[in-house]
Structure 1
Amino acid sequence: MLVGYARVSTREQETHLQIDALAAAGAEVIFQEKTSSVGQRVELRRCLQSLRPGDVFMIYKLDRVARSLPDLLSILEEIRLAGALVKSLTEPLDTTTAMGSFVIQILGAVAQLERGIIRERSIAGQRAARDRGVLVGRGRALSSEDEAEVVRLYAAGEHTMHALAVMFEVSDSVVKRAVYRAKKPGHSSLK
């Protein structure tokens, strides 16, 4: 049986391109999910558990299935133990030969290198933005005035952190961070 697997990293992305390509290649069953490769990949687990001897595990591209070379090798071993083969629609992969297995390992290493380079560029871009005075990251949930009021009310012992979170319509962790920031040495709001 030809078994396809498609994955995108975020809810805003779509698997249409991968699904269409897998269907055109003859996939009889297609598992799909929208999740980061770092998180739980429930459908990938289901897909791998469904594999039987002689099945072909089909993917659009290698980076849709593994987050790193060790992860890829682990998944490939699981597929091999199931007696199935692997086929990528965009890369020349054929695990029935020693050369095909070697190519998969090389492509996995290249994909990991590419992700590392992208990460390094992203970090360098963030540093450059910070150096130019651009604020990087998500803004604070509380204004400076509201944060000062949260700290004052908590210091006065009038409210718990949870009660303040409800009052200011933020999460408990937002209140907790505000209070802990105020406790830092050199901060005069909370003694």
Structure 2
Amino acid sequence: MSTSTRVGYARVSTREQNPDAQHDALTADGCTKVFTDHASGTLAHRPALDEALGYLRAGDTLVVTKLDRLGRSVKNLKDTAEQLDAAGVGLRAISQGINTTTPGGRLFFHMLAAIAEFEHDLVVERTREGLAAARARGRRGGGVVKMTATKAAQARLMYDAGGHTVAQIAATFGVSRATIYRHLAP
């Protein structure tokens, strides 16, 4: 007979950040194994998450300290939760008190996701309205393009080659790390 296991997933955005606080919380919550990624949440490729998802079995629970450690966006978080649910795996977010292995926990998770999605839609709608009003007054918004398609392709090559950190790539092109991450995202 199979026993259920709590498996932890931790993520820090950069190599300089330390995942120890997440590890401590996950271990204290009963996780017997913890997978850790050192990557921005905006990047699609998170090898430790992929490994954790492959490790989990029906009846297990994936535990994170906060939901934002797991998902890049509300849609990505919902997709991951649905993938876990289809595999018979629960999801627990310690700090938010979410546990999808219970009916109330599933309801709470879906309510939070729906509220976040609604809030995002409102922001998008207000932004469109503001841009339309500005255009009607003859103003054109937007910032200065910092990375051309050629520079973005060069940054991707440098990142994929593995010889440079994101900070080094950003310094090479005179932009922030966030700009590089934005261009590395799929």
Q: For the superposition of Structure 1 and Structure 2, which TM-score range results when normalised by the shorter chain?
A: 0.5 to 0.7
How is 1:95-110 mapped onto 2 (pairs within 5 angstroms)?
Answer: 95-108=100-113
Q: Following the alignment from structure 1 to structure 2, what is the Cα–Cα distance between the partners of residues 78 and 72? A: 10
The answer to whether the 8 Å contact 1:59/1:87 transfers is yes
SS where residue 96 of structure 1 aligns? coil
Map 1:14-33 → 2, pairs under 5 A: 14-33=18-37
SS at match of 1:71: helix
Residue identity opposite 2:54 in structure 1: Q
Change in Cα spacing, 1:18 to 1:53, as seen in structure 2 (3 Å) is same
CA distance in 2, matches of 1:97, 1:26: 18
Distance of 1:2 and 1:69 partners within structure 2: 23
Larger RCO: 1 or 2 (CA < 8 Å, sep 6+): 2
- Structure 1's 31 and 110: CA in aligned 2 closer, same or farther, altered over 3 A? farther
Question: Structure 1 length normalisation: TM-score?
Answer: 0.56
The equivalent residue for 1:149 is: none
How far apart are residue 108 of structure 1 and its match? Answer: 3.9
**What's the % identity of the aligned pairs?**
37
Q: 1:111 to 1:30 in 2, by over 3 A?
A: farther
Q: Does 1:62 align with 2:67?
A: yes
Structure 2 distance, partners of 1:107, 1:65, is 15
Question: SS of the residue aligned with 2:98?
Answer: coil
Matching of residues 129-168 of structure 1 within 5 Å: none
| Length-normalised TM-score, structure 2 | 0.57
Say which of 45, 49, 67 aligns to 1:44.
Answer: 49
Write the distance in 2 (CA, Å) between the matches of 1:49 and 1:43: 10
Report the Cα distance in structure 2 between the residues aligned to 1:89 and 1:77, rounded to whole angstroms: 19
> Shift of the alpha carbon at 1:111?
6.2
Unpaired runs of at least 5, structure 2: 124-143, 147-171, 174-186
Task: Indicate if the aligned counterparts of 1:62 and 1:108 stay in contact, CA closer than 8 A.
Answer: no
Larger Rg: 1 or 2? 1
CA contact (8 A) 1:93 1:100 kept: yes
Verify the 8 A CA contact 1:52 1:83 in the aligned structure 2: yes
Deviation of residue 87 (structure 1)? 1.0
Q: How big is the shift at 1:56? A: 1.0
Q: Match of 1:31, SS?
A: strand
Matches within 5 A, 1:84-103: 84-103=89-108
User: CA–CA distance in 1 between the matches of 2:115 and 2:40?
Assistant: 19
